[in-house]
Amino acid sequence: MAGWISRFTGADVVEMEVPRFSGWGRIRLLKIKSLLLPKADSKKAEKWLCQAGGGGLLRSAREKLVEINYNPGTALFLSAGNGAAPFALALAKATGQKCCTIMTPTTLGTAPFNFAIIPEHDYPRSSPNLLVTLGAPNMIREDLLRDEGSSMLSRFPSEKDRRWGILIGGDDANYAIPPSWVGEVLLPLLEEAEIRDVEVYMTTSRRTLPETEGRIEEAVRGLPHVRMLVLGARDPWNPVPGMLGACERIFCTEDSVSMISEASTGGHVVQILRVGRQGGIRKALQDLTAKMVGKKLLPPQRLWGIPRFNLMIESFCGRGLAMEYDPERIDEKPLAHGKINEDLSFNEARRAAEWIIQGWKSEKSPSFCPNSTKAGWNATSFGSQLNLPGRGT
């Protein structure tokens, strides 16, 4: 989003890391003391920042704002997630600027922010400061796909015209991809590719179990049509943009909202690969909540875990951006490149940037002038929890 805002306005973009906390420190600072921020003045916001280890962050922000000759209300602090949201709000209050949150901060909510970019599956209530998106905004752009696709093919040359990309996530609190999944789902898909004379480019996630990665390595050994396997736990290189740019079809495990969103943004009709479910009381409570919502005993906002993510995937499918993987239907949808979404019209980060700019413009700020490098309009983003293109994050 910061990149799109910069493209449209000429704004400077500065990435800054926010402090990270765990245990009691996280609860005390981010969930209890941060509750005072919505009504805090600049001095109280500065006090919270110092208590939260953000004094240096505030100094750096002020120095940068002075360097680029800012005026009050002309810079945007952009954050994503619970950890960064309080810092964005506090910095905006301490410096007299504006702030935006991506995703719903569970403690603060969206009301204290000038702008809020919230996914549809959070069921947000309508508000003038809120834009609802499908999936996760991301950095996928046409030029990125072109450049990264060319780079990937130079590292892993292709001998055929047809290429498939397979994006594999990993275990989390809801989903499980055990070694047995490789034989049940992945191997049949690789066999389909071989039958259709298609080459395969594949990556796993940092969340993929080592045992599962080992089983994948064994499975592809001796398969010449598998041209690339990047293991997320071992290789820091992110091949996802290259795969989206160079492959005609993309298959993605259901556990990764980010990879599904990126693939859809890249112009693909993503074919969803189902994975295992974590058991226990958590799943039982999710299922119970879903039943109560189905009987209208609870509002849809109460959905959580897998039932909520299933609704998001259904929304992607309903808009023609995704489909359930079925060997009989692989070729049902047109190819990505040149035939569907050729202009990458589905791009929630771009749409959110345009919405923020329009909202800013409607305030008739004298310093706002779209598409000008002299706009006096500046964006500061916090990179610790931004949704950068990644593998199953």
Evaluated on CA atoms 35, 40, 42, 47, the torsion sign reads: negative
**Residues 367-372: contacts with CB under 8 Å, at least 24 apart:** 367/71, 367/73, 367/74, 368/74, 369/9, 370/8, 370/9, 371/8, 371/9, 371/10, 372/9, 372/10
Residue 345's SS3 state is coil
Structure tokens at 174: 């809801």
Structure tokens at 361: 């413009």
CA 125 to mean position of chain CA atoms: 21
So what's the pLDDT on residue 377?
A: 42
So what's the pLDDT on residue 278?
A: 95
Whole-prediction pTM: 0.85
Structure tokens at 151: 């780079």
Main-chain dihedrals φ then ψ at residue 57, nearest 5 degrees: -65, -40
Cβ(174)–Cβ(278) under 8 Å?
yes
The residue among 171, 281, 277 whose CA lies nearest residue 233 is 171
Q: How far apart are CA 245 and CA 247, in angstroms?
A: 6
DSSP category for residue 29: I
Give one DSSP letter per residue of 290-311, joined into a string: HHHHHTTSS-GGG--SHHHHHH
pLDDT in tens, the chain (393 residues): 999 999 999 888 999 889 888 888 788 888 899 999 999 999 999 999 999 999 999 999 999 998 887 788 889 999 988 899 999 999 999 999 999 999 889 899 999 999 999 999 888 888 999 999 998 899 999 999 999 999 999 999 999 989 999 999 999 999 999 999 999 999 999 999 999 999 999 999 999 999 999 999 999 999 999 999 999 999 999 999 999 999 999 999 999 989 999 999 999 999 999 999 999 999 999 999 999 999 999 998 899 999 999 999 999 999 999 999 999 998 877 666 544 445 568 999 999 999 999 998 887 543 333 333 333 344 444 433 333 334 443
Domain boundaries, the chain: 2-137+347-382, 142-329
So what's the pLDDT on residue 344?
A: 64
So what's the pLDDT on residue 100?
A: 96
So what's the pLDDT on residue 177?
A: 98
142-329: CATH class: alpha beta
Give one DSSP letter per residue of 213-246, joined into a string: HHHHHHHHTT-TTEEEEE-TTT-----HHHHHHH
The residue among 207, 195, 197, 255 whose CA lies nearest residue 231 is 207
Residue recorded with tokens 């609870």 = 298
